[in-house]
Structure 1
Amino acid sequence: MKTFALIGAAGYIAPRHMRAIKAVGGDLAVALDPSDSVGIIDSHFPDAHFFVEFERFDRHIDKLRRAGRGIDFVSVCSPNYLHDAHCRFGMRANADVICEKPLVLNPWNIDGLSDIEQETGRRISTILQLRLHPALQALKARIDATDRTDHEVVLTYVTSRGKWYNSSWKGDTGKAGGVATNIGIHFFDMLTWLFGPVTKQTLYLRDRDRAAGTLQCGKAEVRWFLSVDRADLPAELKAGQTTFRSVAVDGEEVEFSEGFTDLHTRSYEEILAGRGFGIDLVRPSINIASAIRDMTVVTLDKSAHPFALRR
């Protein structure tokens, strides 16, 4: 049985990690969060130790290590800007790390984590669950089977958030990286995985709640639009539907709405089997998202995403 520590136990994504740890036969030994609203732990690991102070959490893990019962994995679900530090902590605690995306906010931080991997002999794996989605794996197989390099892709993701969003760390660009990082990083990874490295990117829109631009990948021209504003939802959506996710390749919709519920568990299974997604794989998406924060916004033209043009 592998033992786990979880940093960020009160966050939105933490329950998926708890379920995954349970599903792979692991044991959550200890968890940390400055918020004590973590009753969800009882549904999975009621005997887990819990701390609201990092210092006491650190001490507890060190005591376990010295007693010969060290942690095998540290799962990092903390706010984006803390991932780097918490990954460093995990490796220095002689554990492998499973980190939610984005691994880091800036590409130069990847090099530092790589150095610590070499120093400690530990490994970081990132949750890139879209690479494990059966529909997207089938799409990749079709793309790889041809020599075509002129695919046209339209990516649209609108996931409405309430007023709380911008009052939390997620609305702080310095902590979350901006909307393109916070909700778009896994899509940027998906696009580069499917179509190859980015050779050019353009930014048409960037504000607190939305961003839009284009990517020229090795095999595709991509128009993308990301938003957390419900006003950007298509009018034709069913009443009460708060999220719109669409990827169209050469005018054909790629249906991958189903099959998301167990992808964190699949990710953990792959990691424990030695097939996790290492830190070098995240570099392309981190480069894209980081560049968006500093790029000059250009005037809208016909190459922009239709949702950007309608504003």
Structure 2
Amino acid sequence: MTNYALIGAAGYIAPRHLKAIKETGGDLRVAYDVNDSVGIMDSHFPDAAFFTEFEQFETHVHTQRRAGNGIDYVGICSPNYLHKAHMGFALRAGADAICEKPLVLHVSDLDDLEAMEAETGKRINSILQLRLHPAIIALRDKVRAGDPDKIYDVDLGYFTSRGAWYHASWKGFDHKSGGIATNIGVHFYDMLSFIFGPNTANIVHHRGLDAAAGYLEFERARVRWVLSINRNHLPAHTPAGQTTHRSITVDGEEIEFSGGFTDLHTASYQNVLDGNGYGLDVVRPSIELVSHIRHAALEPGKGEQHPDIKKVIGG
């Protein structure tokens, strides 16, 4: 049986990791989180050890390893700015890492992690579940089978209302989350490169605490995008009472992939177990893309703006 440790067991996404470990036949031996609201563990792994202090968690993992009960994989769903340190711990503990996105916040962190992989002989895997979604795979296959010279027009609009808690949490601080484009957008950008090929242009129209927008070009697509967590930015055509509006269109045709997410973490874990996990080389392009978005000069007059950007730019 494959043995796991889990870092960030009280987090929002942790239940998907617990479910994935269970459904792929693994055993969670130990978990860690600074918060102790982890009762959900009882329905999956009631015998797993749990610690709220990292030093105790680390000691337990190393003690068990010396006793012949080492960890095979460490699942990581901690805050973004801690991912690098937690992946480093996993590798030094003799385990491979399965980490949530964004894998890291800085491109240079990938270089450090590559060196750690070489030193330890262990591997880092990123959760990029959209690459495993049937609708996304079908679109990629359609693009590959179509006219190789065709350039697609894509609009990405993602509006999801968040309360004041968001800005008070680690997610509201750029040095911890990477900002809106990194925390919310990185898996969409990875998805776009998965479908349409390498990123070739990256223009930033707006960058704020609650929203970001810009224009991207990929080998086979032109993309207008806007992301916001401000309910006042919801487009006028959002149905009354709805607090989110998510839309991705390709040549005016909506891509429907809101369903089917439930089992994608399980598929991601199985992918890793099968030796097909997404490593540092796969992740690097999207980290480079969001790093540019964080630091690039704003050029609102360059490239095409997303049609729902007016409220975002206006305030």
TM score, norm. by length of structure 1: 0.97
Q: Deviations over 1:49-82 (max 9, x none)?
A: 1101111100000011001110010011110000
Q: Deviations over 1:210-229 (max 9, x none)?
A: 00001111111111111111
Q: Separation in 2 of the partners of 1:73 and 1:22?
A: 13
Residue in structure 2 matched with residue 264 of structure 1 by the alignment: 265
Q: Is the 8 A contact 1:107 1:283 kept in 2?
A: yes
Residue in structure 2 matched with residue 75 of structure 1 by the alignment: 75
Residue in structure 2 matched with residue 248 of structure 1 by the alignment: 249
Give unmatched runs, 5+ long, in structure 2.
Answer: none
User: Do residues 58 (structure 1) and 91 (structure 2) align?
Assistant: no
Give 1:243 deviation, angstroms: 2.4
Amino acid across the alignment from 2:42 = D
Residue in structure 2 matched with residue 84 of structure 1 by the alignment: 84
Q: Separation in 1 of the partners of 2:300 and 2:49?
A: 53
Q: Separation in 1 of the partners of 2:155 and 2:127?
A: 24
Q: Is the 8 A contact 2:235 2:308 kept in 1?
A: no
Give 1:193 deviation, angstroms: 1.0
How many residue pairs were aligned?
311
Q: Separation in 1 of the partners of 2:99 and 2:162?
A: 24
Q: In terms of mean alpha carbon deviation, does 181-190 or 228-237 score higher? A: 228-237
Secondary structure of 1:5 counterpart: strand
Residue in structure 2 matched with residue 191 of structure 1 by the alignment: 192
Give 1:37 deviation, angstroms: 1.4
Give 1:232 deviation, angstroms: 2.1
Give 1:107 deviation, angstroms: 0.8
Residue in structure 2 matched with residue 210 of structure 1 by the alignment: 211
Q: Is the 8 A contact 2:95 2:122 kept in 1?
A: yes
Amino acid across the alignment from 2:160 = T
Q: Separation in 2 of the partners of 1:177 and 1:286?
A: 10
User: Do residues 280 (structure 1) and 257 (structure 2) align?
Assistant: no
Q: Deviations over 1:11-53 (max 9, x none)?
A: 1111110111111111111011111111121121111111011
Q: Separation in 2 of the partners of 1:291 and 1:183?
A: 15
Give 1:86 deviation, angstroms: 0.5
Q: Deviations over 1:169-214 (max 9, x none)?
A: 0000000000000000100100111111111111111100000001
Q: Is the 8 A contact 1:149 1:218 kept in 2?
A: no
Aligned identity (percent) is: 57
Secondary structure of 1:205 counterpart: strand
Q: Is the 8 A contact 1:80 1:176 kept in 2?
A: yes
User: Do residues 153 (structure 1) and 189 (structure 2) align?
Assistant: no
Amino acid across the alignment from 2:243 = T
Q: Separation in 2 of the partners of 1:149 and 1:291?
A: 27
Q: Deviations over 1:281-308 (max 9, x none)?
A: 0111101111111111123467111121
Residue in structure 1 matched with residue 19 of structure 2 by the alignment: 19
Q: Is the 8 A contact 2:8 2:32 kept in 1?
A: yes
Q: Separation in 1 of the partners of 2:270 and 2:241?
A: 34
Q: Separation in 2 of the partners of 1:273 and 1:175?
A: 32
Q: Is the 8 A contact 1:205 1:308 kept in 2?
A: no
Question: How do 1:156-195 residues align onto structure 2 when only pairs under 5 Å count?
Answer: 156-195=157-196
Residue in structure 1 matched with residue 121 of structure 2 by the alignment: 121
Residue in structure 2 matched with residue 309 of structure 1 by the alignment: 310
Residue in structure 2 matched with residue 2 of structure 1 by the alignment: 2
Q: Separation in 2 of the partners of 1:244 and 1:108?
A: 34
Q: In terms of mean alpha carbon deviation, does 248-257 or 207-216 score higher? A: 248-257
Residue in structure 2 matched with residue 226 of structure 1 by the alignment: 227
Q: In terms of mean alpha carbon deviation, does 247-256 or 299-308 score higher? A: 299-308
Residue in structure 2 matched with residue 294 of structure 1 by the alignment: 295
